[in-house]
């Protein structure tokens, strides 16, 4: 069989399409095979961190994304005893990023913007309803089995990028472990058009409320607020998804407000897992296929986009013969270590902090917010600039 002189990407989520866009930018031809019949419309990630926006600007897609999103330069922490504990402003690290703010915008807008931009470019091909099932490889090429119109087809490519999400078939087929754990509790996201600014003084577009029993956070996106609650292990899915239960939770957000207009609710289970390898010969894993974490800190999709850029910058150099194949091992080394050291550790710490709500966490936040050097250090960490610097240091 003839080997296609294109890079194959399995999965047209935000991470797979960023990988495609960066390869096309470097003139490398790509084919994207997506299992779904269209781009997903699921309401999932909605936070883009500053360095991710810098990367998207290099792909020439940040302006339309900003136009459809909401700029959030500040975020805050509260608790029920003390009210506002600390507030942070990404303007304090404006010398370290071209985008000193979080952008609140659904990931489904990014995938459409990228697809619209790439469509018509001869280096970009995309096929829907084409799930990749099995992967084998030799030293020269990767063979994938694709299900199309009820039939199995096999195709050979030079390289394969598995960006096919948390249940990755590419990962399974390569026999790569996905070790970690699943939290016993789940998260419920309730979306409402209610105007929280009118009832919560000094509110920022992102506001975390620490509480040992029921923490929550408020996150503003265009036209809606998303309120995320922890659902305890003993509360059933059926209960958590009942409209009355959502109203009971929402009634705890602002004393005195009992009923809300609810646009939609989403309940989901959360895992902390990292793949045993991000590279296996001519195949790679990026995004949720490589790692999953809880959403506190908004690092899942952002970390995946950082994987995509790290990998495709190197793959383009290898494609043109400018760097040896071993260059691609640096992607595995850097991104896997940074995922474990930063994304997994920090998202677990963020969850514990919100649940503990002890004086130690409160005092640490206040001390950090009061000291300009500590504030900058903290913002570099939460914006994920720190994890990208750490990756570079790994060589
Ligand atoms: C409620 C919620 C809120 C979140 N909030 C944030 C946030 O604010 N910030 C953040 O950074 N992250 C957040 N996340 C995590 C974020 O949504 C994921 O990290 C992100 O979607 C990962 O992107 P991806 O492209 O790797 O995978 P996905 O988005 O899962 O995309 C994978 C794609 O592959 C396709 N596919 C699957 N199997 C195959 C196959 N065999 N062959 C071909 N295609 C296949 C799927 O149809 C899909 O289109 C949140 C998640 C949830 C659930």
| 288-343 residue pLDDT tens | 999 999 999 999 999 999 999 999 999 999 999 999 999 999 999 999 999 999 99
259 has pLDDT over 90: yes
pLDDT digits (tens, 9 = 90+) for 83-97: 999 999 999 999 999
- Average confidence score pLDDT of the chain: 95
Largest CA distance in the chain: 69
Looking at residue 310, its pLDDT comes to 98
- Count of C-beta atoms within a 10 Å radius of residue 266: 15
Nearest ligand 1 atom, CA 286: 26
Q: What's the Cα-to-Cα distance from 334 to each of 323, 383, 395, rounded to whole Å?
A: 17, 18, 8
- Count of C-beta atoms within a 10 Å radius of residue 5: 10
Q: Which residues line ligand 1 (CB under 6 A)?
A: 10-16, 33-36, 40, 44-47, 107, 131-132, 163-165, 169, 189, 266, 268, 287-288, 295, 298-302, 304
Q: How far is the CA of 118 from the centre of ligand 1 (A)?
A: 20
353 has pLDDT over 80: yes
Looking at residue 31, its pLDDT comes to 98
> Distance between the two ends of the chain, CA-based, in angstroms?
38
73 has pLDDT over 70: yes
Q: How far is the CA of 18 from the centre of ligand 1 (A)?
A: 12
Q: How far is the CA of 89 from the centre of ligand 1 (A)?
A: 28
Nearest ligand 1 atom, CA 170: 41
Q: Which domains does the chain have, with CATH numbers?
A: 3-72+102-180+272-358 (3.50.50.60)
Q: How far is the CA of 85 from the centre of ligand 1 (A)?
A: 33
- CA-CA-CA-CA dihedral for 76, 78, 83, 85, to nearest 10: -60
Range of weakest confidence among 55-64, 93-102, 231-240? 231-240
Q: Which residue shows structure tokens 């920090």?
A: 346
pLDDT digits (tens, 9 = 90+) for 355-386: 886 788 899 999 999 999 999 999 999 999 99
Q: What is the DSSP letter of 225?
A: E
Q: What is the mean pLDDT of residues 71-80?
A: 96
Model confidence band, residue 43 (pLDDT cutoffs 50, 70, 90): confident
Nearest ligand 1 atom, CA 290: 26
Rounded CA-CA distance 156/4 in Å is 6
56 has pLDDT over 80: yes
Looking at residue 307, its pLDDT comes to 98
- Count of C-beta atoms within a 10 Å radius of residue 128: 15
pLDDT digits (tens, 9 = 90+) for 191-216: 999 999 999 999 999 999 999 888 99
Reference 381, options 62, 78, 60, 88; nearest CA is 88
Q: What is the mean pLDDT of residues 53-82?
A: 97
The closest residue, in CA terms, to atom 50 on ligand 1 is: 45
Nearest ligand 1 atom, CA 168: 38
Rounded CA-CA distance 141/139 in Å is 6
Reported pTM: 0.97
């Amino acid at each position: 069989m003839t080997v296609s002189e294109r890079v194959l990407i399995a999965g047209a989520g935000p991470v797979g399409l960023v990988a495609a866009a960066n390869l096309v930018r470097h003139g490398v031809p790509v084919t994207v095979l997506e299992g779904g019949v269209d781009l997903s419309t699921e309401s999932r990630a909605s936070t883009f961190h500053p360095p991710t926006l810098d990367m998207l600007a290099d792909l020439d897609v940040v302006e339309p994304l900003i136009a459809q999103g909401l700029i959030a330069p500040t975020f805050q922490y509260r608790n029920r005893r003390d009210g506002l504990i600390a507030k942070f402003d990404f303007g304090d690290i404006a010398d370290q990023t071209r985008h000193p703010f979080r952008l609140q915008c659904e990931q489904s807008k990014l995938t459409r913007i990228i697809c619209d931009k790439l469509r018509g470019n001869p280096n970009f091909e995309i096929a829907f309803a084409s799930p990749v099932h099995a992967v084998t490889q030799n030293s020269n090429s990767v063979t994938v089995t694709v299900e199309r119109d009820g039939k199995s087809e096999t195709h050979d490519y030079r390289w394969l990028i598995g960006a096919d999400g948390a249940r990755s078939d590419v990962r399974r087929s390569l026999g790569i472990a996905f070790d970690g754990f699943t939290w016993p509790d789940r998260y419920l996201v309730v979306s409402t058009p209610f105007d929280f600014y009118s009832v919560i003084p000094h509110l920022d577009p992102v506001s975390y409320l620490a509480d040992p029993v029921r923490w929550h956070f408020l996150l503003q996106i265009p036209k809606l607020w998303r309120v995320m609650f922890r659902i305890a292990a003993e509360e059933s899915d059926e209960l958590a998804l009942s409209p009355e239960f959502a109203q009971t939770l929402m009634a705890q957000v602002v004393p005195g407000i009992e009923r809300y207009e609810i646009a939609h609710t989403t309940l989901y289970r959360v895992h902390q897992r990292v793949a045993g390898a991000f590279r296996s010969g001519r195949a790679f894993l990026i995004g949720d296929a490589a790692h999953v974490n809880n959403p506190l800190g908004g690092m899942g999709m952002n970390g995946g986009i950082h994987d995509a850029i790290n990998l495709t910058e190197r793959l383009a150099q290898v494609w043109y013969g400018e760097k040896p194949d071993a260059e691609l091992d640096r992607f595995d080394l850097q991104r896997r270590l940074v995922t474990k050291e930063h994304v997994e550790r920090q998202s677990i710490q963020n969850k514990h902090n919100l649940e503990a709500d002890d004086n130690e966490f409160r005092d640490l936040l206040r001390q950090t917010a009061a000291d300009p050097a500590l504030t900058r250090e903290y913002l570099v960490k939460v914006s994920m600039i720190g994890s990208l610097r750490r990756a570079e240091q790994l060589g």
